[in-house]
Structure 1
Amino acid sequence: MPPRSPSSDASIGELAWVFFSPRGRISREPYWLGLGVVFFLLATIASVMVRTAVIETGPDGDMVLRMDEQGTLLEILAFGLQWVMIALVAKRCHDRGLTGFLSLLTMLPLISIPFVIFMGIGAGQPGPNRYGPAPNSRPPRRGPSGPSDRPD
């Protein structure tokens, strides 16, 4: 296997940060892209769960839905995706100058969808805020025409 370049390591680290860390800020584009990945995976999990579920008649004549071991694994994966959604929404809250604890609203059924849409529509605060620099800001150039880290 060829060695990874530093840029690929940075990309993997950035993806891990986007999907798993609730810290920092993200703009609308990576927010919607990340949510698209989450919703696609949730739909896939739901589809597999429906296809593997077994409907039986219980002793009292009621219909019973039974999941096998695969269903338990899929439920664990779905729970993990809930964390990814919380991390994405928390960073979006931070971009808008709000506390990340509001991302817990994604766990409330009637509130989650309108809240996720609301967080994705509005623009973030321009410039740095208490949660970090603006997500689309770039560090100053280094080198002959920019600031240097070397002491004088």
Structure 2
Amino acid sequence: MPTQRKEFGRRGLSRETPSQRGQRPSHYSSGHATAAYAPAGGSALPFDDEDGFSLWAVLTNTLALFFSFQGRIGRLEYWSIGIARCVLLLGLLFAFISSTQPALAEMSQVSVTNALFMSGTGLVYTALFIAGLVNYWSLEVRRCHDRNVSGLLLLIMFIPIIGAFFGLYILIVNGFFAGTPGTNRFDTAQGLAPVFD
């Protein structure tokens, strides 16, 4: 039985026989090579962008990375996005409190609440806090998906007392345990990169 040789960049074993390996094609076509160049003195050929790249696609893919509830993410993305979110929100909170601290000292409790949530700065911070909260739940759901567990399990965190312990359990499991190797029931078409198989 002839030995089969593996080729870089191809899946599986090559189907050619040992006698076909050393053969060269009897003719070469230069049609593809000349089509890439314009004739002398002519204008450049139009650029054909077939990959569908656009600024809108970049923006939607970035937002999907932070706010999508579908697919899977690994531990590196989980920690890097989570830490960046915490640093950003803590920095915004510090800036918000330090900018409003002098005015809040002389106000009553009702006035402080109205000033925090009815002012433009308070509304901006509230909107950013809600975006950070959605990002938190998105990361937790997708890490559960990576471990082949439904994200609906996270609703246990809303149960008083039990939810606090379950939240700590989820942080440990999602943050430190590896996900399911290979495919699982939560894979999406974007999550399966055939290049790295």
The verdict on how the C-alpha distance between 1:56 and 1:49 changes in structure 2, with shifts beyond 3 A counting, is same
Identity of aligned residues (%): 27
SS at match of 2:105: strand
CA distance in 1, matches of 2:111, 2:78: 35
Q: Quick one: which amino acid aligns to residue 124 of structure 2?
A: L
CA distance in 2, matches of 1:42, 1:106: 21
Aligned partner of 2:126 in structure 1 is 75
1:128 aligns with 2:179: no
Structure 1: unaligned runs, 5 residues or longer:
142-152
RMSD between superposed Cα atoms in Å: 3.3
Q: Quick one: which amino acid aligns to residue 110 of structure 1?
A: A
Q: Choose the corresponding residue for 2:106, options 53, 56, 61.
A: 56
1:87 aligns with 2:138: yes
Contact 1:19 1:88 in 2 (8 A): yes
For 1:1-152, list aligned pairs within 5 A.
6=53, 11-51=58-98, 52-53=100-101, 54-56=104-106, 58=108, 66=112, 67-68=115-116, 69=119, 70-104=121-155, 110-111=164-165, 112=167, 115-132=170-187, 138-139=193-194
Which structure has the highest strand share of the two? 1
Contact 1:106 1:115 in 2 (8 A): no
The offset of 1:39, in angstroms, is 0.6
Contact 1:86 1:106 in 2 (8 A): no
CA distance in 2, matches of 1:115, 1:85: 12
SS at match of 1:23: coil
Greater Rg by CA: 2
CA distance in 2, matches of 1:46, 1:114: 27
CA distance in 2, matches of 1:117, 1:8: 37
The verdict on how the C-alpha distance between 1:29 and 1:9 changes in structure 2, with shifts beyond 3 A counting, is farther
The offset of 1:137, in angstroms, is 5.2
Aligned partner of 1:147 in structure 2 is none
